[in-house]
Structures are given as structure tokens and as C-alpha cells.
Amino acid sequence: MSTSGTNTVSSALLAAMNGTSNSSSNPNASTQAAQNQFLTLLVTQMQNQDPMNPMDNAQITSQLAELSTVSGINTLNSTVQSLVSSYQTSQTLQATSMIGQTVFTPGNSLTLSSGTADFGVNMSTAAGDVKVTVQNSSGQTIDTIDLGAQKAGTVPGVWNGKMSNGATAPDGQYTFTVTTSTDGKATSSGTPLSYGQVTSVSQGASGVMLNVAGVGEVSLTNVVQVF
């Protein structure tokens, strides 16, 4: 081992140990920088050791093993990130096939158009009676739809735009709530589903998102049913 007083290591040696001589071509520059710093410290430690009491092979091997472990973890992280990016891109391309189709997604919005508004109810368990209450933009109840007994699963429904007073509601946006009961006792087995057409697809921090008319932005994973 050299006992020279210099505290630097040649760039050629670092390049050989890192497997490259051009850091700008390394896609993981931060990992290479960490490796360079580690090796510089290790070589400096070896150069300035006591000649009468040098480091033993076990110490050197242990420190090199640490470097290899850190490098391996960083490489694995980079590989996983690359796979995630590829998966998201694939999901986005697949999701574009849904443009123009209609879907059920969690939500309580109703779009009344030409006297018709589609909606859905997601039943976690069966219920003896399922009722849907429609509200206007002011939160006032304007109609109640009795769907009767329903099994577990997705239940589609249609509101004809008729209000409880017999008048016809104008086209526009409404909301609805779902109440369920069995043998006269209230349950919580039904949740509302909004119905709308997919107009576009985007990819963001939350993954692949669908833009649904009358509903808004919805995660692809939240789609309950496609028509």
C-alpha cells in the first residue's frame, strides 16, 4: 500500500472502479458521485494509515461491501422507477380506448339531458328497499325514486326528470343520495355512482385520470363499470 501524503485519487482509477470515465453519460449521476466520495475517503484512509499497524483485509473488504450494497440499492431503485414509468405509459395508452365510452364512477352528480338522467347505486350487500333522493342546486329535495329490493352489485337507474309536484325539471346538473333499509331498519349498503362519458385521458402524480363529462376528473382505478 502506498503511504504517500497525497489525499486524492486519480480520475482514471475512479473511472475504472465506477465502470465509466464520463459522468455525464451516466444516467445515475448522484449514485456515481456518492461512489466517488466513498472511494476517495477509502483511498485517503489507506494512504494515511500507520505503516506499523495497517488496515487488515477484513476492514477493506467490509468497506468495499458497503459500497457495493449502496450502489446495488440505488441501481434497483432506478430500475423500479423505470418500470413504474413504463407501466404508467402503458396504462395511459390503454385508457385512451375508453374515450367516447360511458362509465359508472363513485359520485352523486346527475346530468339531466332531454328529460333523462342516468345514475347508479353500488350495493355492498343486498337490501330490502333502496331509495334515491334527487336534489336541485339549492339542496332541496325535488323527487324520490324507489328502486325496491336489490341484490349486492351495481344497480343502474334512470330519472325521468319529473319532480314530485308533477312538474318537469329543466335540463342541468343535480345531485342525489341513496338510502337503504331491510325489514324497516336502515342500513348503509348502498353508495351513489355517477354516470358520464369519457372525453379525454391524462396522466398525473396520482396516475392515469379520466375526464368524465358532468363528473370531472376520475382516477382510472375508481371506474366501477364501463358501457
- Percent of the chain's residues with pLDDT above 90: 49
List, in order of start, the domains of the chain with CATH numbers: 11-92 (no CATH), 106-196 (2.60.40.4070)
pLDDT of 108 reads 95
8 Å CB contact between 144 and 159: no
Closest CA to 194 of 111, 126, 98: 111
Give residue for cell 333523462: 116
Q: What is the pTM of this model?
A: 0.61
Per-range mean pLDDT, top range of 12-21, 29-38, 39-48, 116-125: 116-125
Q: Please tell me the distance from the alpha carbon of residue 43 to that of residue 45, in angstroms, as a whole number.
A: 5
pLDDT score for 77: 76
Please give the torsion angle defined by the CA atoms of residues 41, 44, 45 and 49, in that order, rounded to the nearest 10 degrees.
180
The pLDDT tens digits for 138-147 are 999 999 999 9
